[in-house]
Each structure stands twice: as C-alpha cells, then as structure tokens.
C-alpha cells in the first residue's frame, strides 16, 4: 500500500523485508541518543515480522526519494486496541514534517484495522514527539492503559479514541 501525502518526495509504505534493517537502525538512533536499547527493544526491532506483523500489527515506513527516513509500528493489543510504537525519524530528516505524515498514516491505518483505541508509550524527555502526538489528538492517559511496561526507562502513556470524528 503506497500512498502519497503532503510532502511530495515522501511516501508511506507498509513493511518490506528489505527495510528490516532500517526499522532497527532508525529506532536505535533515537534510543541510543536518549536512553539505552533494552532487551524488549532488541526483540521487536530484530524481528518485526514475528513480533509485530504475525501478531496482527503493521510496520510503516516513510520513504524520502525511496530511502527509509522514518518508521513506526502498530502493535495489536486486542481487536479494537492498537499501540503506536517504535516511531522514529532519522536525525537528517527531522524538521520536514515527516513524523507528522507518518503518525497521521498510522492513525489512518489503525482505523482501517478496526481499532477504536490507539495508545502509545513515550517519555517526558521526547518533547518534540510528545508535542506532535498532542497536536494530532493524543491525550495523556494512565500508564496502566498500556498493560505491563517492558522497559526500565520512565514511560508516560497517551491515547486516542479513533471512534471520534468518524
């Protein structure tokens, strides 16, 4: 599924095996900058087919001139609840609106999957990402909306009701 959005040389596509390494690299870039790569990060990032796609989720990529510059995953929790996870944009591509296009595409794709609720874990440290999430309609939530948190790093939760505005 290739779609064109507002940025003319950027397109959003679903997972392809040739972009497996980009999924890992883009996420390792922001994880090592702000935190550390934890065991659960490694599990998901080294095998997105098994831990995201085979579980009913989706991995999206933002390609700029056919080069992966952003990615995110929609991880299925229940038939109507998905988590936006592993969202990152390469440092060289930040500030161009790619993150906004990528998250907007993830929200649209979650609706297509039948999600009624979209949740995410983030950190107070990730100010730009949190600003983006709020701008796109995510609201603060209790941490327990995520279920057990597999990270040592401090997390906060946000959520979006996808039934609104339909």
Q: Domains in the chain, please, with CATH?
A: 3-118 (3.40.630.30)
Which pLDDT value is given to residue 165?
A: 56
Q: Count the Cβ atoms, other than its own, within 10 Å of residue 95.
A: 10
Who has greater pLDDT, 146 or 88? 88
**To which residue do tokens 């922001």 refer?**
30
Mean pLDDT calculated for residue range 72-99 = 95
Distance set, CA 116 to CA 15, 104, 135 (Å): 23, 15, 19
**What distances in angstroms separate CA 65 from CA 4, 68, 86, 140, one per listed residue?**
12, 8, 22, 35
Phi, psi dihedral angles at 3 (to 5 degrees): -130, 145
Residue percentage of the chain with pLDDT more than 70: 93
**pLDDT for 4 beyond 60:** no
Looking at the chain, the whole-number percentage of residues with pLDDT higher than 90 is 81
CB-based burial of residue 89 (10 Å sphere; 0-12 exposed, 13-18 middle, 19+ buried)?
A: buried
| Average of per-residue pLDDT values in the chain | 92
pTM: 0.91
Nearest Cα to Cα of residue 122 among 107, 101, 137, 138: 138
Helix (H) or strand (E) holding 104: helix 98-112
């Amino acid at each position: 599924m290739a779609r064109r959005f507002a940025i003319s040389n950027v397109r959003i596509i679903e997972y392809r095996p040739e972009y497996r390494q980009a999924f890992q690299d883009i996420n390792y870039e922001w994880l090592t900058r702000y935190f550390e790569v934890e065991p659960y990060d490694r599990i998901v990032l080294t095998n997105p087919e098994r831990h995201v796609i085979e579980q009913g989720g989706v991995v999206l990529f933002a390609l700029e001139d056919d080069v992966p510059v952003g990615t995110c995953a929609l991880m299925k929790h229940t038939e109507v609840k998905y988590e936006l996870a592993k969202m990152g944009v390469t440092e060289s591509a930040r500030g161009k609106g790619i993150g906004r296009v990528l998250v907007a595409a993830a929200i649209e794709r979650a609706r297509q999957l039948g999600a009624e609720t979209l949740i995410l874990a983030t950190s107070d440290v990730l100010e730009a990402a949190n600003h983006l999430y709020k701008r796109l309609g995510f609201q603060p939530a209790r941490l327990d909306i995520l279920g057990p948190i597999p990270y040592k790093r401090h997390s906060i939760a946000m959520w979006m009701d996808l039934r609104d505005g339909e």
